[in-house]
Amino acid sequence: MPDEKTYLSKEKFEDLKKELEHLKTEKRKEVAESLEYARSLGDLSENAEYQEAGRLQTEVEARIAAIEVMLRSAIIVSDYKGGIINIGSTVTVEKASDGLKQTYKIVGSEETDIEQGKISNKSPIGAALLGREKGETVTVETPGGEVEYRIVKAE
């Protein structure tokens, strides 16, 4: 989807720029050297090293292309300033059924990290929270059925 926007924090944007530079300079050179060495071994049709180097080259080029698309379509999000919940907001919700509280930071898909409490704006709960405010109740469709959450805190 070429028109799709990528929501990134400033830090993630900078990390992706560094990764892209590394891939284009150092990693491409390493792969080219591996391919050259593998070619020198002779018969390419049964040369496992050549096939592995070719696979690695494909992966590196695919990652380069993906990062370039993300950086071109990036929208840098800033931290939450209060009011309406958006990407960059940290939200504490309370499950209506058992009172269990959970805190999430809503981020773009590229930064999702469940272990750190970072959920995508496209996830069921992330999408349900967008545009809401502290005190509101949201219903989230999950594989186990509907779950109701009350927004306890938004920052």
pLDDT tens, residue by residue, 95-127: 999 999 999 999 988 899 999 999 999 999 999
Supply the pLDDT for residue 10: 85
The fold of the 79-154 domain, in CATH, is Chitinase A; domain 3 (3.10.50)
Query: Token pair 């379509």 is at which residue?
Result: 73
Identical fold for domains 6-76 and 79-154, yes or no, is no
Instruction: Assess whether pLDDT exceeds 80 at residue 35.
Output: yes
For residue 123, CA distances in Å to 34, 120, 141 come to: 40, 5, 10
The domain ranges of the chain are 6-76, 79-154
| Averaged pLDDT score across all residues of the chain | 89
Percent of the chain residues past pLDDT 70, beyond the cut: 94
pLDDT tens, residue by residue, 51-81: 888 899 999 999 999 999 999 988 888 765 6
For residue 12, CA distances in Å to 26, 74, 99, 152 come to: 20, 10, 33, 28
The fold of the 6-76 domain, in CATH, is Helix Hairpins (1.10.287)
Per DSSP, 98 falls in state T
Q: Which candidate, 142, 144, 138, places its Cα nearest to that of 152?
A: 138
pLDDT band at 130 (very low <50, low <70, confident <90, very high): very high
Q: Which candidate, 108, 137, 124, places its Cα nearest to that of 15?
A: 108
